[in-house]
Structure 1
């Protein structure tokens, strides 16, 4: 079951990251924002908007599947790992700066996921011995 969780959360992370990065690229190519047919044409003529759709739809179905089997606490925390992957890709693809608050935030997210996973593991051990 552990490999199911790992594969599932890697898929969720991938879909979420694809959606966010694609949406960023789509917004760059949609400029200037004019709220007219020309603007809509610019948006939907770029493949990035479709990458965002695929990412969001894939993330939704992956998330629903994970929630069916995985504990809610660690699942919810792990679903936020995409903030770290999107930050790293944004540094690489969009030349965004890596700042101390981003590093602290990433560290806290990882710590939260690890603590919740550890707590869930401890709870399972207690249940199995009771």
Structure 2
């Protein structure tokens, strides 16, 4: 079952990351924003818009499959790992800077997920036998 969780959350993070990166690319290519049919056609002619839709659909179905089996607390926390992956990819893809607040935020996210996972393991661990 742990393999299911690891694979499932990696897949969820991949889909969520694809959505966020695709939205960034689509947004960059949609500038300047205009209230016109031409602008809408320009937006929907970008392949990144469809990458974002694919990411959201994939994330939805992956999340639904995970919720059938995973405990909700750690599952909800782990579903936010894309914040860290998007931050790291944005350094490479968009020349964004890695700042101390971002690093501390990423560490806090990962630490919170680890703490919730450990708490869930302890809660479901078998009780030691009394002597």
Specify the TM-score bucket, using the shorter chain as the normaliser: over 0.9
Q: Deviations over 1:51-105 (max 9, x none)?
A: 0000011001111111111000100110111000000011110001111110000
Q: For structure 2, list consecutive stretches of 5 or more residues without a partner in the other structure.
A: none
Q: Which has the higher helix share?
A: 1
Structure 1 stretches of 4+ with a deviation exceeding 2 A read 126-129
Which residue of the partner structure matches residue 118 of structure 1? Answer: 118
Which residue of the partner structure matches residue 11 of structure 2? Answer: 11
Pairwise CA RMSD of aligned residues?
1.5
Which residue of the partner structure matches residue 91 of structure 2? Answer: 91
Give the whole-Å Cα distance in 2 for the aligned partners of 1:127 and 1:16.
37
Give the whole-Å Cα distance in 2 for the aligned partners of 1:15 and 1:128.
40
Deviation at 1:41, TM superposition (A): 1.1
Q: For structure 1, list consecutive stretches of 5 or more residues without a partner in the other structure.
A: none
Deviation at 1:126, TM superposition (A): 4.1
Alignment of 1:29-68 (within 5 A): 29-68=29-68
**Paired residue total:** 130
